[in-house]
Chain A
Amino acid sequence: MNVPAYNFAYLDEQTKRMIRRAILKAIAIPGYQVPFASREMPMPYGWGTGGVQVTAAIIGPDDILKVIDQGSDDTTNAVSIRTFFVKTSGIRTTTATTEATLIQTRHRIPEAPLREGQILIFQVPIPEPLRFLEPRETETRRMHALEEYGLMHVKLYEDISCHGEIATSYAYPVKVDGRYVMDPSPTPKFDNPKMNDCPALQLFGAGREKRIYAIPPYTQVTSLDFEDHPFVPYRFNGTCALCGATDSYLDEIITDDLGSRMFVCSDTDHCATRRAQGHDRSPRVGGEVPPHDPEPTP
């Protein structure tokens, strides 16, 4: 049995061309979901196959790749995907957001502002923002074509009448370039404002659902809301226990079985960079909260 030899970055060149064509179309129609002939990848569907295919299609020998999952370079799936690209393309990798030319991410947008020339690649599980309102693809495609987003607004309205606020905390729908309603992938809504007018190119790959979409640099991205109920990005009102950051998105860590918890930056590179710059734990003893503490108001 002969051992298969793989092309640079795993995918063959014809497949890369097919994916690049989809990407170009996606960039030309911001927020529109372009169907593409997603391949079976050597990692499971739902584990980043869309993002991996987009990265594989555009990565070149001079690129420097960063892979994060939940904001961290060291979570298992981020490690696995980074190793995959090192193995198949011999590419240079980094954990520094500022150093990377390509950043593949799951569930977060880095805290450090992105710059021109960088490309942020999102792994997307369900690309269709209307999917949980209408399960049929034939219907949702028609709704996008007709710009018929009433259903979504009714859902948001019902949230407000029911809960007093829009009860969506992640994968919060946005409107791109005043036209398409788009799913930002399951990032916390805290990250939504970062997508707006971003100097970097943002690409979204959904492998299992076979869709690619994009936000070109400096594109207007607005989170859906109402005049009297404006969009509010949420973050836990605390301080990072490691670097003292008060403006980063925080992970909640349970520290014992009595309900004690602490909060640390979800973006590990951001946290490490700040610590290297001499930032330290805050005077509040790291934002630790006593058991059963009701949450401070955001």
Chain B
Amino acid sequence: MYVAVKGGELAIENAHALLAQVRRGDLSVPEIGLDQISEQLTLAVDRVMSEGSLYDRELAALAIKQARGDLIEAIFLVRAYRTTLSRFGTSAPIDTAAMDIRRRISATFKDLPGGQVLGPTFDYTHRLLDHALAGPSASPQSKSAVVEFDRSDGGENKEGLPRVTDLLVNDDLIEPSPTSEGPARDLTREPLSFPAGRDVRLQNLARGDEGFLLALGYSTQRGYGRTHPFAGEIRFGEVEVEMFAEDVGFAVPLGRVAVTECQSINQFRGSATEAPRFTRGYGLAFGQGERKAMAMALVDRALRASELGEEIKAPAQDEEFVLSHSDNVQATGFVEHLKLPHYVDFQSELGLVRRLRKAFAAPLPSPACQGLQAGGATEAAE
């Protein structure tokens, strides 16, 4: 005989015990350490810090370990921790022109002050599986053998390298970088509303899913809201984070963070009142996140369509569409909530479909419904 289902509590406990077991895997294989993750899976750590909106390599590594390498799950763990941290202030804007450069390339100028710096990149590697890496790798070239970018050379890097867009702005060929008006809003403290300002848009995109932004950016390149982009500059390196201290009256350094910045240069044909000049798209990610930063810059520029008087006809230009669906923690939660029981609603739908089928089989057809769908039956269950 059927009895009401009980035992959810025990089932959950058992599931969690199983999860812990598979997370650890084969006990004869040494357990992975957080230092191994943060040192050897650096780009995974970078992504979790970026989309988790928390710059902490150790916590990101812990999240990746706990999430069994599922980066969206790791991002979720970091976010849920971050939200409990108290805010004690807002840092001064970082100055990426003063970045301690590890990589800097421009696709718009062959050479430029400071030069092109390839740095550590997958670019120009041949994507051939390196079977030598399968075993314990012979220690790679020792640091001294790698020709380091000589930071003392000419002293210019000590002062930072000028940004390509700053070189263009002098001739008024590109729009000036917008100045901020008042303190930036914080999406994690205020609900998103439309139209969203540039600060909110950039925060949303910086936290947004890399894959989602990649696909949207890609779509603009294929004609869905084309923006004629050039990779004006991509730079990666460490910058100082400072905070203005009221007590002492000046900004004090808090530490350094590694960031990747992408500034795209896009066409603007001008309007009746404005001369043609280049416009900007902006992308920024923690760590080395070039794909993310580039995609973000493309989408940022596409979302400026209404500001620049461009026709809005593609998904990437649609602010509500992009900003409402970019967050992978929200998206994964809502998609996966379909796993939760829905039998109460399904029971209601069963009743409805049975009635509709009965009516369908009955002799009186209803002519009015051609072209209409059964609304209730097709709406997704929540």
Contact = CB atoms under 8 A, between A and B. Distances in A.
A158 interface: yes
A234 B353 CA distance: 12
Interface string B65-91: 000000000001001111110100000
Given A107-B344, A298-B351, A44 B375 contact: no
Interface stretch (A174-182, A214-222, A248-256): A248-256
Contact of B189 (A37, A136, A161, A249): A37
B8 A79 contact: yes
A273 interface: no
Given A74-B6, A77-B340, A170 B359 contact: no
Interface residues of A, number: 82
Contact of A162 (B58, B330, B372): B372
Given A37-B190, A163-B369, A262-B2, A168 B375 contact: yes
- Looking at chain A's contact residues, the main secondary structure is loop
A40 B82 contact: yes
Nearest to A188: B348
Interface in B359-380: 359, 366, 368-369, 372, 374-377, 379
B55 to A, nearest CB: 15
A161 B368 contact: yes
B240 interface: no
Interface in A1-45: 1, 4, 6, 10, 12, 35-42, 44-45
Interface string A53-86: 0000000000000000111101111111001000
A107 to B, nearest CB: 5
A6 B349 CA distance: 41
Contacts of A242: 2-4
B375 A12 contact: no
B12 A170 contact: no
B128 interface: no
B333 interface: yes
A190 B348 contact: yes
Contacts of A110: none
A169 B345 contact: yes
Interface in A92-145: 106-108, 125-126, 132, 135-138
A71 B366 contact: no
B86 A12 contact: yes
Nearest to A22: B191
A171 interface: yes
A234 B83 contact: no
A245 interface: no
A170 B375 contact: no
B11 A76 contact: yes
Interface string B176-205: 000000000000111111110000000000
Interface string A256-280: 0000001010101001100000000
Contacts of A236: 347, 351
A279 to B, nearest CB: 14
A189 B349 CA distance: 11
25 contacts: A37-B188, A37-B190, A44-B329, A46-B335, A46-B336, A46-B337, A47-B333, A71-B344, A74-B5, A76-B11, A76-B12, A78-B8, A137-B324, A159-B375, A162-B374, A164-B359, A165-B355, A167-B356, A167-B375, A169-B376, A186-B381, A189-B348, A249-B347, A250-B347, A298-B355
Given A74-B7, A138-B194, A163-B374, 17 more contacts: A41-B80, A44-B329, A44-B332, A46-B335, A46-B336, A74-B5, A75-B8, A76-B8, A78-B8, A79-B9, A155-B375, A158-B372, A159-B376, A170-B349, A189-B348, A208-B330, A272-B4
Interface of A: 1, 4, 6, 10, 12, 35-42, 44-47, 49, 69-72, 74-80, 83, 106-108, 125-126, 132, 135-138, 155, 158-159, 161-171, 185-190, 208, 210-211, 234, 236, 241-242, 249-253, 255, 262, 264, 266, 268, 271-272, 294-295, 298
